[in-house]
Amino acid sequence: MKIGKFDLEKDGTYIIAELSANHNGSLQNALDTIKAAKEVGADCIKLQTYTADTITLDCKKDDFLITQGTLWDGKYLYDLYKEAYTPWEWHKELFAYARSIDIDIFSSPFDKTAVDFLEQFNPSAYKIASFEITDYELIRYTASKMEPIIISTGIATIDEIQDAVDICRSVGNDDIVLLKCTSSYPAPLEEANLATIPNLAQTFGVISGFSDHTLGSTAPIAAVTLGAKVIEKHFILDKSIGGPDADFSMDKEEFSQMIKAIRDVEKLIGKVDYSMNEKKKKSRQFSRSLYIAKDIKKGEVFTEENVRSVRPGYGMHPKYFDDILGTVAKKDFEFGERL
């Protein structure tokens, strides 16, 4: 499966820098963030495509007031999204700029009109946000565009995850990535449950990854060791610019260090390999083998006193030690001679 030019089976971990609201209302901030994402080695910059009106209602009833123990408590949904959204008139320039510096770019649509709007930019994938996984019609419509579809599973039951996968497949789209996600901002480490990552791949027959809202880089690095092929992390130029997502986003230095650690982990994981390369063969010089521990005359019997398994490894394999004991020497042997 490929996202743009990136082959998830061969090219390692696909690392997404999530712009979200970290432009803080400035087009130049957005452009500079894309440039910074490219510089630190991210594979993709991801946008969010909605307006306050496409995602909620401008209503001041208690249902629309955030009171869930989040960073945004006390705000109404409409006001939060009006502050956080990425203006649609920016998209053309953002897509063009990202492609001009050779970093992949796509977005999370939050309704059908956003999907229709994004289609003009030929995105390499679509992302369904964790809170939208229950919007089956949005999933169906997005999947029908036949681009790879990445779905965060943060608030979903296992049945809802199965429904989302089945919907994608029902329209002929099997290029599905499921991301383990904890929909808390920031997310406590003890709620990450990264063991779910390989289980997602096994249970649903898809590629799995991790959308991370914890602080720091420990969780995404650990996720890669568990088989995550996609890592998504909020990215900000400088936390001092503020904004709704600043507190749980990584700045340029932090993101760079995370990417370096992930690339190192990929090298460490490598592949299943039992072959004997030249380096391994050379190292076997320091393994054990059978050597003469005392001078032996022809006709004497090999014993545990005159034959030992010692380093280096130039002599007979130690597995033959019991076969040698009790047999008779057919010639003289000197102390320190290989058997």
Q: What is the 3-state secondary structure (H, E, C) of the chain?
A: CEECCEECCCCCCEEEEECCCCCCCCHHHHHHHHHHHHHHCCCEEEEEECCHHHHCCCCCCHHHECCCCCCCCCCEHHHHHHHHCCCHHHHHHHHHHHHHCCCEEEEEECCHHHHHHHHCCCCCCEEECHHHCCCHHHHHHHHCCCCCEEEECCCCCHHHHHHHHHHHHHCCCCCEEEEEECCCCCCCHHHCCCCHHHHHHHHHCCEEEEEECCCCCHHHHHHHHCCCCEEEEEECCCHHHCCCCHHHCECHHHHHHHHHHHHHHHHHHCCCCCCCCHHHHHHHHHCCEEEECCCECCCCECCCCCEEEECCCCCECHHHHHHHCCCECCCCECCCCEC
**Inside any domain, residue 243:** yes
**Inside any domain, residue 37:** yes
Instruction: Kindly state whether residues 181 and 316 are assigned to the same domain.
Output: no
**Inside any domain, residue 74:** no
pLDDT for 96 equals 98
pLDDT for 77 equals 93
Instruction: Kindly state whether residues 112 and 146 are assigned to the same domain.
Output: yes
**Inside any domain, residue 57:** no
pLDDT for 69 equals 73
Instruction: Kindly state whether residues 95 and 209 are assigned to the same domain.
Output: yes
Q: What is the count of structural domains for the chain?
A: 2
pLDDT for 74 equals 87
Instruction: Kindly state whether residues 94 and 148 are assigned to the same domain.
Output: yes
Instruction: Kindly state whether residues 18 and 155 are assigned to the same domain.
Output: yes
pLDDT for 247 equals 81
Instruction: Name the pTM for this structure.
Output: 0.89
Last residue of some domain: 249, 269, 289?
A: 269
pLDDT for 237 equals 92
Instruction: Kindly state whether residues 36 and 125 are assigned to the same domain.
Output: yes
- Mean pLDDT per 10-residue interval, the chain, length 339 residues: 96 96 94 98 98 96 87 88 95 98 98 98 97 97 98 95 98 98 82 96 98 93 97 92 82 96 96 90 92 97 97 96 97 97
Supply the CATH number for residue 114's domain.
Answer: 3.20.20.70
Instruction: Kindly state whether residues 294 and 258 are assigned to the same domain.
Output: no
| Host domain of residue 295 | 278-324
Instruction: Kindly state whether residues 246 and 174 are assigned to the same domain.
Output: yes
Instruction: Kindly state whether residues 236 and 304 are assigned to the same domain.
Output: no
- Using one digit for the tens of pLDDT, what is the confidence trace for 246-257? 888 999 999 999
